[in-house]
Structure 1
Amino acid sequence: MIPKETIDKIFSVARIEEIIGEYVQLKRAGSNLKGLSPFQDEKSPSFIVSPSKQIWKDFSSGKGGTVISFLMELEGFTYPEALRHLAKKYGIEVEETHRELTDEEKKQQTERELLYKIHEVANNYFQDQLWDSEEGRLVGQAYFRERELKEDIIRKFQLGYSPEKKNAFTGYALEKGYAKEILEKSGLSIFPENAPQGIDRFRERVIFPIHSFSGRVLGFGARILKSNVKTAKYLNSPETEIYHKSSVLYGLNQGKQAISRKNICLLVEGYMDVISLHQSGIENVVASSGTSLTTEQIRLIKRLTENVTILFDGDKAGIKASFRSIDMLLSEGMNIRVLLFPDGDDPDSFARKHPQEYVENFIAEQARDFIDFKADILLRDAADDPIRKAEAIRDIVKSVAFVDNVLKREIYLKEVAAKFGLSEQSLFNELNVQQQIVQGNQSAEKTRQEQQHVNTKLEVVQDKTSFSAEPLWELEEKLVELMLKYGDYIISRKDADNQPYEITVVEEIAAYLQEDGYEMLSPVNRKILDEIILGLNQSELRTEHFFVTFLDEEIASKLADNIQKNELQNWASRNIYPLKLGDRISQEVEDDICIHKSHYIEFLIFRLRKELDEYRDTDEEKYFSTILQIQKLEKIFRDINAKVNRILTKSHYYYR
């Protein structure tokens, strides 16, 4: 358990804009920062970060909260894991108080958490084997030296070695108390019938850990070192609950800051391409790790930049296969350039041959627009064959059809027309044909995805509608907002004897809600009120700042909603300067309590009137006592209206 003092310290030093800036390219928008949602595919940015409030809000998905809730949403962290991640990043020592877990807490240790843990254990084991065992030094380190890797880069990418002994790691993990089932589900161990003691999947290989955006180990790639063994050169972790290869890019954790800073991502194929470029000082690079590029991977890059340069080694089959990747990148709104290395070179070998400045200049100068690239490759094959030449041009126009931006499409077509001496009109005609094909395919896929989510969306809308239709709900929200935003404001009042006294906003509203025995409609509001009352009993005012660091992300999300909605109403940009709520807080609190009380009384009257029908024929005494209750409540209701000199509600409209 992490002490409250440590949690407060983590929140005091962690800057939300720094953490989220590692995942999303943020741009200044007034006092806030804005970027594309990391949770939904969108073309116009609706993801807002407020550095002053240290909260975020994603309007495309409705999510929001603190830096902790962001990490929990995006990385699947538990609350303590997110805190530990931030503590490590900011150099804060976490001294946890250890105690026996309750049965409920043990249940909450999910398979997902165990998978993260066993991968962390395996990663440390493979690194220890590389550096501390004789076999690791003689075999693993020898391979990395042969590839000219320096110690600092090996440690940076946490490279390791798995021993020749067939169950070295499996035995180690079993001794540590990890169950056979979790080892099998992780893919680290295999338990065939003829080897019940288990076999290491990656035995006698050098290890390349595959990290999440935040640096957690999700799986491994492993290269065999013996050339006389008939097996795959590279072996990867199987799909697990935490590792989906289509959603991961190798090197993204190590290169994300450089990609964002330079506003361009270099896309390569293999682990060693990434590592060698890093060693030469070029860090804005990721690899698809031998898999075909996916939409999920492209969107990971797009959080940081819209500019991609694809680096190829000149292999003809690989180049042709890249055309699909180019079309996918274009359909996601990316700007693409392509670079072919000289024959016999790939990014790994080229980076080892030349100094950093030379490699950087070569990439900048030799990378070409995707149209030039496709034209050269396709026309080289077409030679003087007019039919094949026409097919090549059609293929280029097909790629242009994937571009969503109208202006970009027109510029690209003008380039093609100039390059091949064709009329622009003929190309636009062909573009219309290709667009219909592309849009038809995209529409079918979109329909399929929407169908999957339609029921959930309807349920959410219906749920929100039923709640927002209740007047008390909105008034309750207003009172909670006042306590959170202005709870420590001191207001002047007079008692029954007309004697002046001072009271805080949070005390006045909490006292009113307790006095009337009001039950919060929202479970989140109920939690907030309980914590506020607990704080008052301990002579502590619990307002917005307290709940930002509170161990409940539902509350953090609510804070994002309440705080952000006012933050985003930038009236000053329109030369409108309305009176701020805080300027008249004393009157506002009094009015809102009266309005809420009148609605609450009407609700009670409505409920009692419904009960009258039940008592009319069954319990005469109860029937008349209920009538008296209704009359008393109606008098209070009239008194409130007289006090504020207006009719506050219309019960026949709200409660029927």
Structure 2
Amino acid sequence: MMIDQGTVDRVVETSQAQIVDVVSEFVTLRKRGINYLGNCPFHNEKTPSFTVSPHKGIYKCFGCGKGGNAVNFLMDVEQISFIEAIKQLGKKFHIHIEEVELSPEQKQVKNDRESMMAVSGFAQKYFTNQLLKSDEGRSVGLSYLRSRGFRDDIIQKFDLGYSPEAKSALTDEALKNSFKLEFLEKTGLSIVRDNYKADRFRGRVIFPIHSISGKPTAFGGRILKNDKKTAKYLNSPESEIYHKSRILYGIYHAKTEITKKDRCYLVEGYTDVISFHQAGITNVVASSGTALTVDQIRLVARFTPNITIIYDGDPAGIKASLRGIDLVLEQGMNVKVMLLPEGEDPDSFSKSRNAEELHAYIEKHEGDFIKFKTGLLLKDAENDPVKRAGLLQDIVKTISVIPDAIVRGEYVKECSALLNVREQVLYNEIGKLTKKSKEEQYKSKAPSNDIPIEIQEQMAAASFAPQSLYEEEEKELIRFIIKYADLNLVSVEEGEEEVEKMTVGDYILMQLNEDELEFENPLYNKIFKLYQENKDNQGFQAVKFFVSNMDKSVNQLATDLLSREHALSKIHERFGATDLEENTRLDILVPKVVNELKLKKVKALIEKYRKDLKVAEQAKDGDKMMEIMQTMVTLQQLQALLSKELGNRAIV
């Protein structure tokens, strides 16, 4: 069964109307004007910047940027899924959660997944029970963990366990309890070949791998025998419920403290995480010996943008990890790195220190990732010019992926000093890499010089221009759609004829579709298409639709654009709206912004054809020159027309 959309809509609508009631269970709010104010639950602050707007049904923190509707709030504050939040709010507001019947295929997938989750839950309890209560488990598994210095409370906190030496002890016990061999095999708990069946983890100490909601979905097992032919650690294989590239060991136990401390410590192994917890530092997760993935980085980013990667003193291992960790910077994370003393790892290092001493050591020795990487590679390069050139290319490539220009600039300064290379040289190299990346990104969209294209199609294909060029106009149009899509533009008279009324949303839709224009910003484009697809649905209201949207990126942008009383932008000031209410000037503002966007697109095309003309002149290609000049004349006429429109009052 699943929750039907009608029930979801009722819960979202009710919780939006009662958002103050929802939030006040977690935050002390006091009324200020039409809104409510309190201290943000997502970051530490002394001056309240967390605002709840009951008439808009949204919340927004102007300190950390968190925002959304009541469902988003509950998901973030309690770290639960969308469905769990809907069920919890439904219970709170006495809304019966209506569930709908699944198709046979959906039922099969759902049943298989639930069966796999159930057998994993059974296995975790079995392993833990074996560790704590069986003679073999206590004498072998528990004694090993205690010899590693782990306290009993920490062993229980992480649900550690033991798998007996017997060939199929877990498998046989699971079958006795009516679990199917099919799901024991699918989860990787049992190895099955014809009539042969055996436990994958037999004779090992077990480390359950929990999902973000705390359910065991996979296991890691450490062998206790000295057998060189057998892997020291063995992990569950990929399955329907476990994807190692999407989870981090310890995230369930760490997520609350990561949010509270606004920082995540990343280590390598299971025992590193456990030892840090025992020392009193709980905002720590492990990659479990695998290279970092984008999904893992984004998992951390859900709770904090700040991450410190802690390495043991193994330079070879660190170098092997450098390329993968560039992804962290590419995702816009603030990265610091700390190298432990030679011969130490996070497990051993944390055992001799308490939380205060560990924090003090980390704060003193952690450094920014680029500086660390430069210093590490510089040792190998020494005075070899070829190696130094390779190092420079490596560092520049890393810097070029950083999305924030200010952060990128700071790293350029550091690298310039460390490598004794002028900043301009670094910027030139970054520029080349960025240009190459954009050319590859836009290659498929670029217009062909061999095929005649209408001016409207050329405008739509003007993706070679930087996305930031159109950001201001695109963002304004999306704000107009979210906030005013359902309102009519004020109709005015042209002589004796009255122009037919049109909504703001329909006008923007018509104007952009006529010229086959799309938003360069992917999120703006998604919102535009969602509006186009849903605007004719019965009862559609743009504000409600976007603020309540299940897509978090959509509802958060909508919340952000609606969470403040509109401050007039430079666009509005240019159009003479400085002293008038925005919603009384939509007939002027909306067409003006549309025309500004079109004008920028046309100017970008003209600039492109100017460059193409120079190339044709150098090649002495007369036919090509004539074709380009004719196109430019048409574009310049369109530019003049748009400029004239922008200089006059727009009539809709």
Same fold, judged at TM 0.5 (above): yes
Per-residue CA shift, 1:212-235, capped at 9, x if unaligned? 111111111111111125211111
Q: CA deviation at 1:72?
A: 4.7
Provide the secondary structure at the position in 1 that maps to 2:240. coil
> Who is 2:71 aligned against?
55
Task: From the superposition, tell whether residues 123 and 409 of structure 1 become closer, same or farther in structure 2 (CA, over 3 Å).
Answer: same
Task: From the superposition, tell whether residues 391 and 105 of structure 1 become closer, same or farther in structure 2 (CA, over 3 Å).
Answer: closer
Please tell me whether the aligned partners of residues 207 and 220 of structure 1 are also in contact (alpha carbons under 8 angstroms): yes
Q: CA deviation at 1:386?
A: 2.3
> Who is 1:134 aligned against?
135
Q: CA deviation at 1:84?
A: 9.1
Q: Which amino acid aligns with 1:49?
A: G
Where does 1:19-98 land on structure 2 (aligned, <5 Å)? 28=50, 31=53, 32-34=58-60, 48-50=67-69, 54-56=70-72, 71-73=80-82
> Who is 1:637 aligned against?
none
Please tell me whether the aligned partners of residues 120 and 217 of structure 1 are also in contact (alpha carbons under 8 angstroms): yes
Name the CA distance, whole Å, in 2 between partners of 1:108 and 1:240: 13
Task: From the superposition, tell whether residues 135 and 439 of structure 1 become closer, same or farther in structure 2 (CA, over 3 Å).
Answer: farther
Q: CA deviation at 1:439?
A: 5.0
Q: CA deviation at 1:104?
A: 12
Per-residue CA shift, 1:380-425, capped at 9, x if unaligned? 1122222212322322222111111111111211111122332221
| Comparing 26-35 and 126-135, the one that deviates more | 26-35
Provide the secondary structure at the position in 1 that maps to 2:145. helix
Provide the secondary structure at the position in 2 that maps to 1:283. coil
Name the CA distance, whole Å, in 2 between partners of 1:444 and 1:389: 32
Where does 1:467-616 land on structure 2 (aligned, <5 Å)? 468-469=535-536, 473-474=537-538, 476=539, 568=562, 570-571=564-565
Please tell me whether the aligned partners of residues 60 and 563 of structure 2 are also in contact (alpha carbons under 8 angstroms): no
Tell me, yes or no, if structure 1 residue 262 matches structure 2 residue 261: yes
Q: Which amino acid aligns with 1:209?
A: P
Q: Which amino acid aligns with 1:411?
A: E
Provide the secondary structure at the position in 1 that maps to 2:72. strand
> Who is 2:631 aligned against?
none
Where does 1:434-445 land on structure 2 (aligned, <5 Å)? 434-437=433-436
Per-residue CA shift, 1:586-611, capped at 9, x if unaligned? xxxxxxxxxxxxxxxxxxxxxxxxxx
Per-residue CA shift, 1:299-358, capped at 9, x if unaligned? 011111111111111212211122113311110001111111111001111001223222
Q: Which has the larger radius of gyration?
A: 1
Provide the secondary structure at the position in 2 that maps to 1:351. helix
Q: Which amino acid aligns with 1:175?
A: K
Provide the secondary structure at the position in 1 that maps to 2:193. coil
Q: CA deviation at 1:378?
A: 1.0
> Who is 1:199 aligned against?
198
Please tell me whether the aligned partners of residues 55 and 66 of structure 1 are also in contact (alpha carbons under 8 angstroms): yes
Which sections of structure 2, spanning at least 5 residues, go unmatched?
2-10, 28-39, 93-103, 447-523, 569-578, 584-652
CA RMSD of superposed structures (Å): 4.9
Name the CA distance, whole Å, in 2 between partners of 1:133 and 1:413: 59
Provide the secondary structure at the position in 2 that maps to 1:250. coil
Q: Which amino acid aligns with 1:214?
A: S
> Who is 1:99 aligned against?
none
Please tell me whether the aligned partners of residues 161 and 204 of structure 1 are also in contact (alpha carbons under 8 angstroms): yes
Name the CA distance, whole Å, in 1 between partners of 2:384 and 2:563: 62
Please tell me whether the aligned partners of residues 23 and 213 of structure 1 are also in contact (alpha carbons under 8 angstroms): no
> Who is 2:315 aligned against?
316
> Who is 2:341 aligned against?
342
> Who is 1:432 aligned against?
431
Per-residue CA shift, 1:120-177, capped at 9, x if unaligned? 1111111111111111100110110111000111111111111111111111111111
Where does 1:113-128 land on structure 2 (aligned, <5 Å)? 113-128=114-129
Provide the secondary structure at the position in 1 that maps to 2:350. helix
Please tell me whether the aligned partners of residues 210 and 217 of structure 2 are also in contact (alpha carbons under 8 angstroms): yes
Q: CA deviation at 1:445?
A: 12
Q: CA deviation at 1:372?
A: 2.3
Q: Which amino acid aligns with 2:535?
A: S
TM-score by length of 2: 0.59
Name the CA distance, whole Å, in 2 between partners of 1:222 and 1:85: 39
Where does 1:132-531 land on structure 2 (aligned, <5 Å)? 132-195=133-196, 198-228=197-227, 230-437=229-436, 465=532, 468-469=535-536, 473-474=537-538, 476=539
Q: Which amino acid aligns with 2:386?
A: I
Please tell me whether the aligned partners of residues 272 and 346 of structure 2 are also in contact (alpha carbons under 8 angstroms): yes
Q: Which amino acid aligns with 2:322?
A: F
Please tell me whether the aligned partners of residues 24 and 303 of structure 1 are also in contact (alpha carbons under 8 angstroms): no
Provide the secondary structure at the position in 2 that maps to 1:206. strand
Please tell me whether the aligned partners of residues 50 and 61 of structure 2 are also in contact (alpha carbons under 8 angstroms): no
Q: CA deviation at 1:258?
A: 1.4
Please tell me whether the aligned partners of residues 140 and 206 of structure 1 are also in contact (alpha carbons under 8 angstroms): yes
Name the CA distance, whole Å, in 2 between partners of 1:295 and 1:322: 14
Q: CA deviation at 1:295?
A: 0.3
Provide the secondary structure at the position in 2 that maps to 1:412. helix
Task: From the superposition, tell whether residues 391 and 578 of structure 1 become closer, same or farther in structure 2 (CA, over 3 Å).
Answer: closer
Name the CA distance, whole Å, in 1 between partners of 2:283 and 2:540: 46
Name the CA distance, whole Å, in 1 between partners of 2:444 and 2:362: 36
Q: Which amino acid aligns with 1:160?
A: G
Q: How many residues align?
A: 451
Please tell me whether the aligned partners of residues 374 and 418 of structure 2 are also in contact (alpha carbons under 8 angstroms): no
Q: Which amino acid aligns with 1:56?
A: N
Name the CA distance, whole Å, in 1 between partners of 2:530 and 2:422: 56
Task: From the superposition, tell whether residues 390 and 146 of structure 1 become closer, same or farther in structure 2 (CA, over 3 Å).
Answer: same
Please tell me whether the aligned partners of residues 42 and 259 of structure 2 are also in contact (alpha carbons under 8 angstroms): no
